[in-house]
Structure formats: structure tokens, C-alpha cells
Structure 1
């Protein structure tokens, strides 16, 4: 019988140190990656585990966990098509990273309105902070109310905080669980389950998001860029034809729209440099060698966005930065060709 790692669920093997699930001794319960993460907060493997939307064939209650860092992807998947017979609770995690002035009720109402236009219905929308154990009890009450003797599945993108939320719920139920959580995307590689209200609650592997920062930098280089605590936005008053360099990772240029304030949400570890716009980005390429966080050896491209007047936008770059700007404006992003970038109407 195959033995699985008690931390991530991968099948353990002692044949190849470079492949997932490696252990020196098959009597061990944790693979080498999980052992180093648990005891030394280190991640040796650079493997990115890809995973699609989980296949749940039974009628179940789906708890869709969405990080504040992924709000731009809130309607990426038609959940009603993936789970046509299953009700869905939307969980907005990491609310502890938001400013206290953010109106959560208004945000939730906006999301409901957007979903209704697509004929997607959430039976509930619950904001939580798994890290601070905030409103987890409210979510559990909602799950119990909507469960109706069904199994419950936690579904979400990688780095949505899904496994930490699973651990918090287990703690509320006085149940021990061995699943590990951390900043490395795709840490959970198999289903983990605990009893819940005469049925079961299942933590599923995270859905892979192409273009994440982990695709470009090793864990030790990007871990301090992932937003996990509240960050105060840096406000830049920009004239036309000015650029902001975010480390040696990407640049955002403000081309036209008059004098305008732009709010940047990023980790304090992110170096942001303001300079005059140069369409060749020669200065950016030169500064890359001096920046703490830098991406080299890949092809960079330019993408242009034209923002409409009277709308507030959020430009999200990979997992590391969100830029809020109110149109009318033209902006240009200079970034690695396969890095994820999205532009949507801002929710806050």
C-alpha cells in the first residue's frame, strides 16, 4: 500500500531526491520538503505542482476560498458549471490585509451583483481571516446551515489560505490534523478530511494559477513579497510619462490622463522606484542587477491598458502587487512575458 506524506499528501518515495515525495527512509511520515518546511521554515523543492478545479462527483456543499490577493480573479471560473448540483459559499480570506476603512458589506454586495449577472449564485459570502482566526466561527455556522447532510469541500486557488482555514476549523472542533500550510503555492497535493456535522469536511489541492511569482523566483527570494499582513498603500502623485519600477520584477508606466494619484499595495520588502518614462526601459534593465528582487533571463513584454473615466480600477501583478487607479488614463506594464496581469474594476 502506498504511503502518503502526512503534511502535503504526496506519495512517499526513496528513489529520486529531485522528485516530489522524497524521503531517506520510508518509515518517515513527512516528505523532505514538508519536514524542512515544518521544522526549519525552508523549502528546497522548486517544483510547481499544477492542479485544476477538483472533480467532485457527488452533490456537496462547496466552500470556495478566495484570497483578497486574488479578488481580480473572482469570476474566473463558472462554479455553477463545475458544480451544477452543489450550492457554493464564497469565502473572502485574508481580510486582515485590508485597510480598516474598507467597507466589507459594500464589497460583498458588489460581488453578489457581478455573480448574479452571470447567473451564478452564492448561498452566502463570508469574509474571514484564517491567519487571525477571525469570523471562522461565523463561517462554520454558515456551513452547518447550508450543509443539509452533504459533505463539504474547500476549493480555491493556490495560496488562498485554504489549508490554514481547514486547520482553523479543525481546531475549533478540537480535531488534530497534520496538513501543512505556507506561502509555497501548491503545498497540498491530496485530499485531507475531518469529520464535520455527521459528514466530512475535505481540503482539496489548490487550483494552479499560471504566472505566479513562484514561476520566476525561488522560494527564499519571493517569500517576503507575498502579502500576508496589512500593508499601508504607498500613494504616488504622478505626472504623465512617469514610471514606477517594482524591484527588478516589473514596471508600471503612466502615459496620459493628467496629474493623478496612484495607490500601490505591496509588501514593505518591495522596492519601488519612480523615474521618467523611457519606452525602451533601458534604465529598468540596468537597475535589475542592483535590486534585491529581480527576474533576469526571461523575455519582457509591454502591455497597454486604456482606462475609462469615472471608474476605479485594480491592476494586479502576479501575487505581489495591486495598483489602484481611477480613469481616464493610459498605462503600460513592462513585465515577464508569462507573468500574470489582470485589470478589473476595483472592489475597494
Structure 2
């Protein structure tokens, strides 16, 4: 075991390991004895022109970012529109120094076709500013549907000049899709991959050489455990991650009514005039309505069965719920955002008090309405 950890990837320099495909440095054990063994990520880039997704936790990721400020680079930050506040790297600015940041907002195909795209772009820019992010430009796209991706590649080409390109983002935001497109457009992969080492960390990014002797730097995806998608059992991810345009569901609720989103999240309309709430979440996630006075008993009786996911076998692995009390001001247009689940738009203007019960650590907040 000790011997294996001293073998480094000939492509990116990271210590190789053969235990876990999902963490950096994985290579099949049969390849570790080769003279120039490389990790699976470098192998896929070199042989298939394809980057694969590797993830790290938040602390390791922030160490990795520490060297960007001293470079002359374009930083491409990819966020997930469906989970905007959950996937944006709010502390990015202090790591990139004076380097320009291009914000690429993916998964716009999930929004209804009647969406006002100019309004959405303004909303994204406002939310980014409030998160402390200064961006040189914003591009909306869909990696899955190849919508706006030509504009993304064109904008990167215009902005980078002779700079390297760092691509950063959380897990499941579409980072690998963008890198693969950049590889096909700009990279000459006849050259070897180069080592990219950063002071203060043993984690290595991968440099993908470009035709002008610059590089795309593929950083691992950051894991934010404040997102439901990171803590839910892997087999239940399909219930949370929408793969087609959202079909908003509107509920007319009286005070003291409750909505259950499977057994993952509970929404209580605690106080306010009768009003409607519109749910933007995956159509695969069942929603059950009940009276607030019956909510506790309903959950205890039906969690893991009618109220699922998670199922009975997975309940023990999930954190217990924390209650978040949110006060929606009168006359405002607000979303109740739950990271990884989606959001609930409060359609009334009379104000309301709501409680959201979500697994401990999950980001829950009020924000200006996206739509």
C-alpha cells in the first residue's frame, strides 16, 4: 500500500491509487507497474479527448485555488441554474486576484420556454454580485441540449487572449462537458499532458495543452454538502435531478397547511392570507399536501414508503431535519430556495411566515424570484 502511494501520474503528477474511481489519482491496479503510469482522468483526456469528473471536498478545493491569483489567466466559473445559490463559489473572488471571471450558467433548458431570458440574465448578474462575485461577462447555456454552447466557446476565445483558462465549478454543473468541447476546439493532444502542482496541497489539477502553448486547467469539482444532491443516497438522485423542462405546480394553500417533498423536505405555510405557491422541482419527486396539525403524524407513519425518497433502508444515513423559519415581506416577490431540491415561489403580496424542514446542513434561504 505504501509503495502505491509513492507512484505519481506521468500526466498530472498526482499520487496514484487504485481503491476509489471517484477521487483524484485513480488508476487500475494492473497499470501501476508501467514505466509511465497515468491516472484515469489523464488517460481519458489523452486517448479519448474527454475529461472525466473528479471531485474533492471544499477545503481541498480552496487550497487548489490558492495559486490562481499569481497567474495571468481567464477563470471560467460554471454554475447550475437549477441550484444557483448551491453551486456558486461565493469566495472565488479572493482567490483569483485580478484575473477576469467568466460566469457560465448551465441548464437553462430546465426553465419553461416562456421564460424572459433578458430578465433571467439580469437576475443572474444581480445574484452573482450579491454573492461577492465580479464577472467580466455572463453566458447562459445548456450543455445537455447544446444551447448557447457556441457562444460560450466564442466568449472564452475572445476573453482569454494569450492566457491560460481555469475551469472551476461544483459537482454536477456541466464542467466536464465544457472542457471536452474546449479540447475538441482548441487542443493539440499529440503533446503530453503537463504537471500542474500548487504550493500547500498534494492535489493536482490537469493541464490540457492548447494550440498556442497555453493550457486549459481542469480543476476537480467541489463538493458542497449543503446541497441535497450531495447527501441523498446515489440511487435516489434521479428523483432530484430534472432531465427535462420543469412543469411548475401551483398549490393554493390556506394558513396551517403543509407540503411534503417525498421524505426529504417539508414546507409549512405557518401564517398568512390564503395564497398560492408555485413549486419548481423535478417532476419525479412526489409532493403530498396535508394539514399542519397532521404533518408530524403523517411523517412518522409514512416516511420511507409513501413519503420517499429516501426509502426506509436509506433513512438512517440521512441527517435529521432542521427547521428554518422564513418571513416573506409584504409586497415582495420571493422564492424559498432549497439547495438541490429547487425552489418554491410565493405568489402572494400580503406576506407570509413559512417553515422549511430540511436535512441538517442543507442551504435554505429566501431570494428575489428568478421567474
TM-score range, shorter chain: 0.7 to 0.9
Give the direction of change, closer, same or farther, for the CA distance of 1:247–1:226 in structure 2 (3 Å limit): same
Q: Which runs of 5+ in 2 are unaligned?
A: 1-5, 45-54, 191-202
What is the match of residue 293 of structure 2? 278
Greater share of helix:
2
Decide which of 270, 291, 302 is 2:323's aligned counterpart: 302
Deviations 1:231-256 (A, max 9, x none): 21111111111100011111001112
**Structure showing greater Rg:** 2
Corresponding position of 1:38: none
Q: 1:116 to 1:264 in 2, by over 3 A?
A: closer
Partner Cα distance (1:253, 1:115) in 2: 29
Find the residue that maps to 1:289 and give its secondary structure.
coil
The 8 Å contact of residues 68 and 92 in structure 1, kept in 2 or not, is answered as: yes
Is residue 2:251 matched to residue 1:236? Answer: yes
Q: Is the 8 A contact 1:89 1:125 kept in 2?
A: yes
* Match of residue 43 from structure 1: none
Cα 1:18–1:307, aligned 2, differ >3 Å: closer, same or farther? same
CA contact (8 A) 1:193 1:201 kept: yes
Once residues 177 and 115 of structure 2 are traced to their aligned partners in structure 1, the CA distance between those partners, rounded to angstroms, is 24
State the partner residue of 1:13. Answer: 17
- CA deviation map 1:209-238 (0-9, x unaligned): 122235533211223421233121111111
Query: Separation in 2 of the partners of 1:205 and 1:121?
Result: 22
- Structure 2 vs 1, CA of residues 285 and 301 (structure 1 numbering), >3 Å: closer, same or farther? farther
2:206 matched to 1:192? yes
Match among 159, 167, 177 for residue 146 of structure 1: 159
Q: Where do residues 239-278 of structure 1 align in structure 2 (5 Å cutoff)?
A: 239-278=254-293
Q: Please give the alpha-carbon distance, in whole angstroms, between the structure 1 residues aligned to 2:89 and 2:187.
A: 35
Structure 1 SS opposite 2:303: helix
Distance in 1 between residues matched to 2:10 and 2:264, nearest whole Å = 34
CA distance in structure 2 between the aligned counterparts of 1:120 and 1:12, rounded to whole angstroms: 35
Q: Once structures 1 and 2 are overlaid, which stretch shifts more, 86-95 or 141-150?
A: 141-150
Q: Tell me the CA shift for residue 190 of structure 1.
A: 5.0
What corresponds to 1:329 in structure 2? 352
Where does structure 1 lack aligned partners over 5 or more consecutive residues?
36-46, 178-188
Counterpart of 2:31 (choices 10, 16, 26) is 26
After alignment, is 16-25 or 276-285 more displaced? 16-25
RMSD value, Cα: 3.4
Equivalent of 1:339 in 362, 366, 369:
362
Among residues 124, 134, 138, which one is paired with 1:111 in the alignment? 124
Which shows bigger deviation, 214-223 or 99-108? Answer: 214-223
**TM-score normalised to structure 1 length:** 0.80
Aligned to 2:335: 314
Is the 2:110–2:246 contact (alpha carbons within 8 Å) kept by the matching residues of 1?
Answer: yes
**Counterpart Cα distance in 1 of 2:189 and 2:299:** 49
Q: Is the 8 A contact 1:72 1:344 kept in 2?
A: no
Aligned residue pairs total 324
Secondary structure of 1:25 counterpart? helix
Name the stretch that deviates more: 233-242 or 200-209. Answer: 200-209
CA contact (8 A) 2:254 2:269 kept: yes
Distance 1:103 1:345 in 2: 15
Instruction: State how 1:211-222 maps to structure 2 within 5 Å.
Output: 211-222=226-237
Pair 1:114–1:268, CA change in 2 (3 A): closer
Matched position secondary structure for 2:315:
coil
Distance across 1 between alignment mates of 2:304 and 2:126: 46
